Amino acid sequence: MNKRITRFKHFLSETGNIASYTGRYFGQGVKPRFEWRELLRQCYTIGYNSFPLVALTGFIMGLVLTMQLRPSLVDYGVESQLPVMVGIAIVREIGPVITALIFAGKIASSMGAELGSMKVTEQIDAMEVSGTNPFKYLVVTRVTASTLMLPILVILGDAISLYGAYIGVNIRSTTSFSLFFRQVIDNFSFGDILPAFIKTYFFGFAVGVVGSYKGYTSSKGTEGVGRAANSAVVLSSILIFIIDLLAVQITDALGLN
């Protein structure tokens, strides 16, 4: 019983700390001086390093999803609807969530490890002594970059995933490239694209905040760095599912589904 109470207190304390950390991000983010060069460097680093894994995952995801759905649609005599069903499933839900999880696994862990190493080796303290604002330089740039880059990665990942689906369709039948994508695009609606795109900003923000928070507040030497990287991935993945659940409820309440 005491352990449960202790864990619950730790959960509340950690939630409050992350909320305070997020408020500090917004407070520091709107104040000059803005670290544009570091922001651009982080955007390039985060986006470029994540793209190969996102592209590979997206292609396999589209290919496998198509091959898995085909037998069921054939049984019901609606095989012609395969491109439409795969396209909507990828764009609305599977593409954003899977890409965000891949992004969390790579970026949140790297942020936690990098900032954690800087914390335990007192590099962050050295930046404060030298007159540099380490929070603005290290945290604000990384969180902003992850927020901006994940939507772009999702768009690219969805496109590659749809191409994988096109390959999957042509394994058992023959469909032209233009016909496949015309079927997919013609059946998209406003409620399919916009909510899925908007929630990716929240996914990216959650990954950036959690990854940088775990690293920036890590302690206990090298053990703390490993723990920060691991917990950053776990917590950011959980937040992605929670945000996705809330997004589905909101879009359903607004009648966008």
Report pLDDT digits (tens) over 188-209: 877 778 888 999 999 999 999 9
Question: Of how many residues is the chain composed?
Answer: 257
In whole angstroms, what is the distance from residue 73 CA to residue 156 CA? Answer: 27
Q: Could you tell me the pLDDT band of residue 256, with boundaries at 50, 70 and 90?
A: low
φ and ψ of 247, to 5 deg: -65, -40
Domain assignment of residue 130, yes or no: yes
pTM above 0.75, yes or no: yes
In whole angstroms, what is the distance from residue 191 CA to residue 93 CA? Answer: 12
Domain tally for the chain?
A: 1
DSSP state of 136: I
Work out the mean pLDDT of the chain and round it to a whole number: 87
Domain assignment of residue 91, yes or no: yes
Domain assignment of residue 17, yes or no: no
Model pLDDT for residues 51-96, shown as the tens digit of each residue: 999 999 999 999 999 888 888 877 777 777 888 888 888 988 889 9
- Spatial contact of 162 and 181, defined as CB atoms under 8 Å apart: yes
pLDDT at 1: 60
Domain assignment of residue 16, yes or no: no
In whole angstroms, what is the distance from residue 99 CA to residue 11 CA? Answer: 27
Domain holding 87, by residue range, is 35-253
In whole angstroms, what is the distance from residue 246 CA to residue 242 CA? Answer: 6
Nearest to 160 by CA among 5, 230, 152, 43: 152
CB atoms within 10 A of CB 79: 17
Domain assignment of residue 6, yes or no: no
The rounded Cα 51 to chain-centroid distance in angstroms is 12
DSSP state of 33: P
pLDDT at 257: 62
Domain assignment of residue 95, yes or no: yes
Domain assignment of residue 249, yes or no: yes
Nearest to 97 by CA among 255, 242, 227, 253: 242
DSSP state of 104: I
Domain assignment of residue 131, yes or no: yes
Q: pLDDT at residue 234 above 80?
A: yes
Written as six digits, the tokens of 165 are 């689906």
Q: What is the mean pLDDT of residues 168-173?
A: 83
Contacts of 67 (CB under 8 A, 6+ apart): 168, 171
